[in-house]
Amino acid sequence: MNNYDKNNILNLLDSVSPDNADLLETLHIIQEHFGYLSKEALEIVSELLSLSVAHVYGTATYYADFRFVPPPETIIGWCSGPACLLKNGVGIRDAMLAVFGTELGEQLDNPSVEVCMAQCNGTCEQAPQIWVNNKVVGKLTAAKAIELARSIKEDI
């Protein structure tokens, strides 16, 4: 992750001005670079685009894509698509959450891990599946999901 300070944010948004900027695109640029949107970044965007902080914050929080805390070391995307649901996707999700002792979308700090909802990516032949830091782990069973969650919990 990159150093999240005011100068870095300003450098990153060097070409952004109220005349040519798209708010969503600007927020995506920041999140892509830093991994999340800090309060300071939202304030800088507000200043840069001559929008109220409430407008910027309201837009950012409307979309599930944006994070407001640093991402964990391990992000597990749980596929909520129909093929995975038909093959016990919910059981797999619940088994992993039970091992981590968290809810969907809640970050466990130590180890730094989060199970979040993801959408079908078209590789349903691997259903039911999850993505561990974008790497597909497919044809899961609840038992394999528990084993994987325990090993992630022990390794970190």
Nearer to ligand FES, 82 or 105 (CB): 82
Which residue carries 């640029």 as its tokens? 29
CA distance 17 to 48: 6
Nearest distance, CB of residue 118 and ligand FES, angstroms:
8
Nearest distance, CB of residue 106 and ligand FES, angstroms:
22
Nearer to ligand FES, 58 or 82 (CB): 82
Nearest distance, CB of residue 141 and ligand FES, angstroms:
15
Q: Which stretches of the chain are assigned E, i.e. beta strand? A: 74-79, 107-108, 113-118, 130-132, 135-137
Burial class (CB in 10 A: 0-12, 13-18, 19+), 149: buried
Nearer to ligand FES, 124 or 137 (CB): 124
Binding site for ligand FES (CB under 6 A): 79, 81-84, 120-121, 123-124, 127, 129
